[in-house]
Structure 1
Amino acid sequence: MYVRPLIICVVLVNVQSQGIQETRIVNIDQGPVRGFKKPGAGYYSFYNMPYATIRERFKAASPPPTWTTPFDAVDRGIICPQAFVPYVNSANRTMQEDCLVINVFVPETNETNLPVLVDVHGGAFHAGLGDAFTYNKFATLKNVIVVTYNYRVGILGFICMGTENIPGNAGMKDVVTGLRWVQRNIASFGGNPNDVTLTGCSAGGTAIDLLILSNSTKGLFKRVITDSGSNLAAYAIQPDPIEMAKQDAMLYNFTDVDNLDALEQFFLTEPYETFTRTSSNCGPCVEKDLGQEMFLHEAPYTILNRGDFIKYPTMYGLTDMEGLFYFNRFEELSQQMDSNFSNFLPNDLQFSSEGERQRVAESVKYFYFGNGSVSGNLKAFVDYQSDVVFVYSILRTVQLNVHVGHRELYLYEYSYYDDGSWGAPHCAQARAVRDEDETNLTENYMRIKTLMREFWYNFMIAGNPVINASPVPSWPIVGQNRSPHLSVGRSIELRGTLMQERAQFWDAIYERHYRLPVPPSRDSASLLAPRNSVSVTILLIIFNLL
């Protein structure tokens, strides 16, 4: 493969409000771009480069603009339309429908063929932005190029009606388009397009786990680090896209939802600002075949169970207390669960009758809470939320991968926390690799950050997390019964089956009651899905706790 030579031009410029900075100009296929390096930073930032253009709402994006004079790749604060803007001050952001921009962070080096880490942001598929988090310390320490980018979220990214105008999965097609941009252009920044590792946490982890199953992603990456998310999560795929579209429209005060032509026109013509008033329920979907490129052609479970996917080397990580996500709403949610526990069963379960639903709900409640109330047991509440939203689906995905012969899977549980905490919350393992203010971090946590960065880097360059000096001499691939796994906490040690009793309990329930998601169809009908399911509840909480 021809690798475009790295073109370097370093000068000093005075960027308004940012002071004197060094710049670097590289040529990409759209034209020259100018990145900037703050004094002492050790890396160049190339912000907000357009990687595609949104010309038609809900459809796959069009090619990006081109230019002949250098494009100043500065942070313009561009984000996609969304009801909530987590992690950052929304006042410093520009919300616009044509929002597909990409950021590249390059260590200060003249080396080429550097490994590349592409981070897909989380946000429950309803919020988020490419530069919500950064990995610049990791990039400079390990000589790695890091890429982040926006993709459409919420209604504009994920409404799915199976029509020519609204085929579905616009947001996931953006993610694929961004990866194709990386393949075309990353060599210009000194990166190796044949050495791309994907990472993501929460919905970002779910997104990259779905990328593994898509026919549209072959050749776009080499390895995967999936944290606190999976392609079998209850929120990963819309169970019934037409029903979800109706529910979403009602959130925005559209009432003629049974007229599907009118429903489609509502989504096509309503100003995008309407869809920023409140968060919707939609996410990725199994698409209807319309004779165009699809992101997802079958249910993830079907593809996994058949083994019909490329088996990329993958690290799956989760935390010991993912459900701390819900801590601040324990009193409210526990009372609701005591009132009607069945409303909080995962929405990817189905039942032949309301009586069967109630019987399953009673068995689940007893498993976690015994004869007591939910409101009387915070630890069990956290365990339950951990399992139904994140943990079990990850363990189920791992088990299916192993069953179909995947031999390059590594599984770990992150449980490190400093004094005063209950445990490791949602995405704590990814936070350990990301940039954060290190001024007041404990010596023990800094040790964990160093260790996690070492695991990631080893995996990126060799497909094995342990290749150098480490607290553990080896980290074997995971086999049957989800064993072994690495425990990363106050001590670092190899352990056997991860959360065996809880996983086996849900194995039995999903074997009997799992509901395969369906493509959008005018004839589809909801099958006793819980109205207040965890997939909906998570959207009400995510923005306050991440």
Structure 2
Amino acid sequence: MSCQVKVEQGVLQGKRVTSCNGKTFYSFEGIPYAKPPIGQLRFKNPEDPECWTGIRDATKPGNKACQPNLSTAKIEGSEDCLYLNVYTPCLPAEQVKNLPVLFFVHGGRLLFGYGDWYNPDYFIENDVIFVTINYRLNILGFLCLNIPEAPGNVALKDTIKALKWVNKNIHSFNGNCLNITVIGESAGAAVVTSYMVTKLADGMFNKVIAQSGNILADVIMTVDDPIEGAKHIASLLGKEIDDVKSLHEFFMNCPVDELLNAYFMAEFNRPPYVIRPFLTVVVEKKFHKVERYFSEHPVQSFKCNRYKKVPVLLGSSTHEGALFIRKNGKDIIYENDLNYFVPSYITFADEVESSLFQIKLRQYYFRGREINDEWKLEFANLLSDSFFDRDIVLFPELISKTQNVYVYNFSYIGNLNIRAMKDLGFKGTTHGDIIQYLIYRKNKAVMATDKDMKITKFLSECWCNFALEGSPSWKDQTFVWEPYKPNARLCLDINENKKMIVNPKYNRYKFWVDLCAVRAKI
């Protein structure tokens, strides 16, 4: 059968492939969803893609976004990176269907990553369409100079442009544009949950899956002045510039390798437990004829009931922050200056108030002691709560009164988990573990036991049934995954023996809420 599909911009040539389990599906990769953001479009909002004549080759992925290779320290990728990939079990020429769509946004701290790393094999088994995307990262995606030429958040708007393309064209791949589930992991979870509060995504999606993150996370949003960060990057390139127009002109003319090298010098020359991107998500200024992503901080939108009421599935691993414990050789680097863990939205009247906040933190986690190996697990808990879980628990607390929210706690330990927990001598799971069971990677699959594959099958089936019906279900289930309610706070513990439990992270979340409430400036 022909692997050609006609979309709004022209005809695509895809390919027929076979999944790891022998299922045939169709792959279309490297599809442009916007004009290349090069030349005068660097730092600007994405523009609609151009049409092409003839047949466009869609048998291999498009360029990844510019980013450093952490093994070689060299910059790889291209500014011309706005491409997506569509994987479908069947095409209309073969059989007309109306399949649910999973629109996946990759993580990577808004610094790294690319869509085609995330293979569709396990999802395709469940008769869904799987879409992955590339979007601008780091300084190219998040420079904000508070001017129309560099408004900020262009990476987020890239993902919206991709979602818009899917809405317009997915029917050509047998997809149902009225049943699109946006799914993201880590920073990708922050992106897809942001769709709930931006008008740019109105009417474009129907459900949300957010793994290990959301847009409320203090490690994603900033209330700091983005222009100061931009000035610092310019200074690393030998230029002291105060005027934003001159700053913009300098960055526009800077070779991309030099620009990214300076950016990552700023990124990595910070204390080890500062993990918020050096330039990140902001609430933009308003400009004539320039679409802005947020009109207010997302926390305000959710607290004031200004968000889309769609089913949500979300959760985290048992020790999300353990992955971010830094070492010098075999020795853990502990941070005893707890000021680094104060949320950016907190203000203090004076040094006494700031000191008191940190004393309470130290008392709660470490019984007032200095942090060392004796408190290794508690230090991991502090990182987990500060970077992830405080805001992950907050999310269903805010929205579960208005819609169904399904919360999970991923605690399964198998051969596919990354090594971080084992290396620390901890029992449990950490950031990035669940994705190992959802995404097929050949080098991982050969390590999988029968128990591991049962977890993989459970997760893909559950996630896909949620995409189909709005509630997670699986074969041979003996109980219902109940929606989260503030009076019960139940979540599904995902392990070999699955069961509903009371959210084990709520008490630590409540400590943070009580500690921060009177000092928050948003």
The TM-score normalised by the length of structure 1 is 0.84
Conservation of the 8 A alpha-carbon contact between 2:326 and 2:332:
no
Shift of 1:232: 1.0
Of 489, 514, 523, 2:520 maps to 514
Mark the CA change 1:149 to 1:493 in structure 2 (over 3 Å): closer, same or farther. same
Corresponding residue for residue 409 of structure 1: 405
Corresponding residue for residue 274 of structure 2: none
Of 212, 223, 229, 1:239 maps to 223
Shift of 1:243: 4.6
Give the stretch that moved more between structures: 170-179 or 315-324. 315-324
Mark the CA change 1:348 to 1:329 in structure 2 (over 3 Å): closer, same or farther. farther
The residue correspondences of 1:365-514 to structure 2 (distance < 5 A) are: 365-376=362-373, 377-402=375-400, 405-418=401-414, 422-437=427-442, 438-466=445-473, 468-470=475-477, 472-480=478-486, 483-514=489-520
The residue correspondences of 1:13-412 to structure 2 (distance < 5 A) are: 24-38=3-17, 42-53=24-35, 54-55=37-38, 56-76=41-61, 78-84=63-69, 95-108=77-90, 110-139=95-124, 141-246=125-230, 248-250=232-234, 252-277=236-261, 278-279=263-264, 280=267, 281-291=278-288, 292-329=290-327, 335-338=333-336, 340-376=337-373, 377-402=375-400, 405-412=401-408
Give the stretch that moved more between structures: 256-265 or 459-468. 256-265
Q: Distance in 1 between matches of 2:359 and 2:258?
A: 40
Letter in 2 for 1:59: K
Q: Distance in 2 between matches of 1:90 and 1:78?
A: 18
Q: Distance in 1 between matches of 2:294 and 2:158?
A: 13
Shift of 1:460: 0.8
Give the stretch that moved more between structures: 252-261 or 283-292. 252-261
Letter in 1 for 2:7: I
Conservation of the 8 A alpha-carbon contact between 2:393 and 2:506:
no
Mark the CA change 1:43 to 1:251 in structure 2 (over 3 Å): closer, same or farther. farther
Conservation of the 8 A alpha-carbon contact between 1:209 and 1:231:
yes
Deviations 1:149-179 (A, max 9, x none): 1111111111112211111111000000000
Deviations 1:352-391 (A, max 9, x none): 2233222211211221112433222221111111111111
Letter in 2 for 1:429: I
Q: SS at 1:192's partner residue?
A: strand
Letter in 2 for 1:191: G
Greater RCO structure (CA 8 Å; 6+ sep): 1
Number of equivalenced pairs: 487
Shift of 1:467: 6.3
Identity of paired residues, percent? 27
Give the stretch that moved more between structures: 109-118 or 99-108. 109-118
Structure 1 residues not aligned, in runs of 5+:
1-8, 11-23, 517-546
Give the stretch that moved more between structures: 267-276 or 45-54. 267-276
Structure 2 residues not aligned, in runs of 5+:
268-277, 416-421
Q: SS at 2:364's partner residue?
A: helix
Q: Distance in 1 between matches of 2:397 and 2:154?
A: 30
Q: Distance in 2 between matches of 1:125 and 1:329?
A: 23
Conservation of the 8 A alpha-carbon contact between 1:335 and 1:374:
no
| RMSD across aligned positions (CA) | 2.4
Letter in 2 for 1:245: G
Q: Distance in 2 between matches of 1:293 and 1:77?
A: 26
Conservation of the 8 A alpha-carbon contact between 2:62 and 2:81:
no
Mark the CA change 1:326 to 1:171 in structure 2 (over 3 Å): closer, same or farther. same
Q: Distance in 1 between matches of 2:305 and 2:27?
A: 40
Give the stretch that moved more between structures: 345-354 or 312-321. 345-354
Q: Distance in 2 between matches of 1:384 and 1:238?
A: 20
